[in-house]
Amino acid sequence: MSKDISELEEKLNKEKGIYTDFQNDMTYSEYLHLDSILSSQKRLSGHHDEMLFIIIHQVSELWMKLLLHELTSAIQAIQEDKLQAAFKMLARVTKIQTQIIQAWDVLSTLTPAEYLEFRDKLGQSSGFQSFQYRQIEFALGYKTKHILKIYEKDTKLYEQLEKAYNAPSIYDVAIHSLAKAGFDLNPNMVNRDYSVTYGGDETVAMAWKEVYQNVDKYWNLYQLAEKLVDVEDWLQQWRFRHMKTVERIIGFKKGTGGSSGVNYLRQVLDHRFFPELWDLRTSL
């Protein structure tokens, strides 16, 4: 072992180009603002496992920030008919989703007895109030007006969420792409109220079915559809892991934010963001 360490030290000593003088230059820590990030884990209970609880949620919020960055850019790219760029962004979204899903595996190491030691310190705060998660739902087309009331405390945030609530979702702009390709769609679907959750339309279903029956002719639209299915598939897996982790830790207790907890999480599993893309698998 000592021989291996000596060899490693010798190799490092030969790395004469390694920069060590940062008196006048930016460091890695400064670039990433690590002083701010690593000092943001403030336990209210002093319990050992509260650190796990805080970090898992903070990390998930960081991943959601990147997910939103990619998703909103993908929406814009589709609107501008830059589908190849959108495909790359949506592929990255699904990879980000796998990271968020795996976070539940770490949190599930928290036992019910351990969580009860600090749960009361959370007050009414809850992941249910995550504004970034609401933005993701809005960007995917699931619009819930009453949820906005949660954010009235912060005027700037409320305005930001209201704007996202009224904006077209990624499925809306995908439907616009179908119209641009010449498909005869219901005008009410192309120019609709984006604040209303999309519920499906026969003309949209027929258009997507034709895309899948003529893949070579509509290759870009076909790829777009499959990227959207990937995103929804992973989101539903995230929702399922969330539900099972909550059930594992608190059973069927109410959530700290007042929701019904597991029962609420089970209900949202039934919602489909892009219904025609799932239905056509049966109708093809």
For 182, residues 6+ apart whose C-beta sits below 8 A from its C-beta are: none
252 is in an annotated binding site: no
Is residue 94 marked as binding? no
Residue 31 is assigned to a ligand binding site? no
The three-class DSSP label of residue 170 is helix
Q: Is 87 annotated as a binding residue?
A: no
In angstroms, the Cα distances linking 44 to 56, 261, 264 are 16, 23, 27
Which residues, including other chains, have CB under 8 Å from residue 165's CB and lie 6 or more apart? 138, 143, 145, 148, 195
Other C-beta atoms closer than 10 Å to the C-beta of 242 total 22
CA distance 138 to 236: 15
55 is in an annotated binding site: yes
Is 56 assigned a ligand-binding role in the annotation? Answer: yes
| Tokens of residue 151, six digits | 């954010």
Would you say 100 is a known binding-site residue? Answer: no
Determine if residue 248 is labeled as part of a ligand binding site: no
Q: Which residues are annotated as a binding site for substrate?
A: 53-57, 115, 119, 256
Q: Which residues are annotated as a binding site for heme?
A: 242
Q: Which residues are annotated as a binding site?
A: 53-57, 115, 119, 242, 256
